[in-house]
Structure 1
Amino acid sequence: MFFNLKKEIYNYLPFNEQEKVDKEVILNLLETEDNLLSRENKICHFTASSWIVNKDKTKVLMIHHNIYNSWSWTGGHADNEENLLEVSIKEAKEETGLKSISPILEEIYSIEILTVDGHMKNNQYVSSHLHLNVTYLLEADEENPLYIKPDENSGVQWFELKDIEKVSNEENMKVIYRKLNKKLESFCEG
């Protein structure tokens, strides 16, 4: 179990110091923790997120997340699926209503360990924990229809790259979104 995911993370080249440190911690957790692909591990578990851009790579598709009351990226829990690229695409489709989303890169675009404060979900309390998050760079046609997923979000919208930090209410996520945009800029230049 975890062979492919562990290999992907091991081979991933960190973009900055945050990714370097988080990669080391995640690799250590893969050796020491059980059930990292399942929410049964109440301390930490894997999630997959998407940085969905338009064809020109000038806009990012965001959802207005119900729990955090903020515009944010799409994503969700691994729920025992080791192929986190598939998880990111599945979640992106579910949360935006898009029928067609394609990976720009098959490999990991970004990694981060995210803190999740305790909250209520489906009338049950979820304790504070960590998401061992893997992000993928995806592309979609901004002309395609979008639909909300009422149990998770109250809006789906394309934003100019420069506006992402303005529309997010989560200070800790603004740092991540800034990093993702810098990586996108580097990717487009390269």
Structure 2
Amino acid sequence: MGHFKRSQASIAACVLPLYNDVLGYQPFNEQEEADKRVILAQLASDPDCFDRSALAHMACSIWTIDPRKTRTLMVHHNIYDSWSWIGGHADGEYDLAAVALRELEEETGVANARLADCGIYSLEVLTVDGHAKHGEYVSSHLHLNVTYLAIASPDEPLRIKPDENSGVKWVELDNAIGLSTEPWIAEHIYRKLIDKLATVNLG
């Protein structure tokens, strides 16, 4: 704990709320325990980690479910060529929950989602292979990912965001795993997010 207290003393005020949220988060499994340490270390040591120019930079995802906890909202991601969750980069913003909600609306059209009261829903350090975006090459890098849980109505109209995805749809929870063409994400992340739902009271 002494290490974290020393780290907190040197962290910029704008970073401290997220740092404290991550510090107080209870990991769900060994993957989250390890990744929590990495994220805390980067938040404490790299003032540029909210900018995507950093090799390891902050990002967020939003696992969106219906009120009955039977379906999740997914997009067909252009770069990954896979059905996936929704998210984006911090890009200099420190309120990642607000960023996640904005990404949800921008990528799917869902404007009336609410965040679950649990705060941070999961943590991940995700590898991103090099790829082309908007005609330019983006080198391989790490996403220091903070995931939030959102509840939305399947009756809301959906739309794609053509520069990001080519499809948006609600799917049965277990189908999210089969729809993904990214085996590690499907088995280690989506399975975790589904299993965690049993521990959450949506109110």
Q: What TM-score range do you get, normalising by the shorter chain?
A: over 0.9
2:168 matches 1:160: no
Secondary structure of the equivalent of 1:55?
coil
Matched residues in 2 for 1:105 and 1:23: separation? 20
The offset of 1:188, in angstroms, is 4.9
- Worse overlay, 113-122 or 94-103: 94-103
1:60-108 Cα shifts (integer Å, max 9, x gaps): 0000000011000000000111110001000011000112111012610
User: Which TM-score applies when normalising by structure 1?
Assistant: 0.96
Partner of 1:132: 144
2:112 matches 1:92: no
2:30 matches 1:17: yes
Match of 1:33 among 43, 46, 51: 46
Matched residues in 1 for 2:111 and 2:59: separation? 21
The offset of 1:189, in angstroms, is 10
Q: CA RMSD in A?
A: 1.4
Matched residues in 1 for 2:154 and 2:103: separation? 17
2:192 matches 1:179: yes
> Which protein has the larger Cα radius of gyration, Structure 1 or Structure 2?
2
Q: Is the 8 A contact 1:105 1:138 kept in 2?
A: no
Secondary structure of the equivalent of 2:196?
helix
Matched residues in 2 for 1:87 and 1:156: separation? 19
Secondary structure of the equivalent of 2:104?
helix
Match of 2:60 among 38, 48, 60: 48
The offset of 1:34, in angstroms, is 3.0
Task: Quickly say closer, same or farther: Cα 1:38–1:164, change in 2 above 3 A.
Answer: same
Secondary structure of the equivalent of 1:4?
helix
Q: Is the 8 A contact 2:18 2:95 kept in 1?
A: yes
Secondary structure of the equivalent of 1:105?
strand
Q: Which runs of 5+ in 2 are unaligned?
A: 1-11
Matched residues in 2 for 1:87 and 1:137: separation? 13
Secondary structure of the equivalent of 1:108?
strand
Partner of 1:76: 88
Instruction: Report the AA paired with residue 40 of structure 1.
Output: S
The offset of 1:25, in angstroms, is 1.1
Task: Quickly say closer, same or farther: Cα 1:97–1:189, change in 2 above 3 A.
Answer: closer
2:119 matches 1:104: no
Q: How many residues align?
A: 189
Q: Is the 8 A contact 2:118 2:200 kept in 1?
A: no
Identity among equivalent positions (%) equals: 49
Matched residues in 2 for 1:177 and 1:94: separation? 22
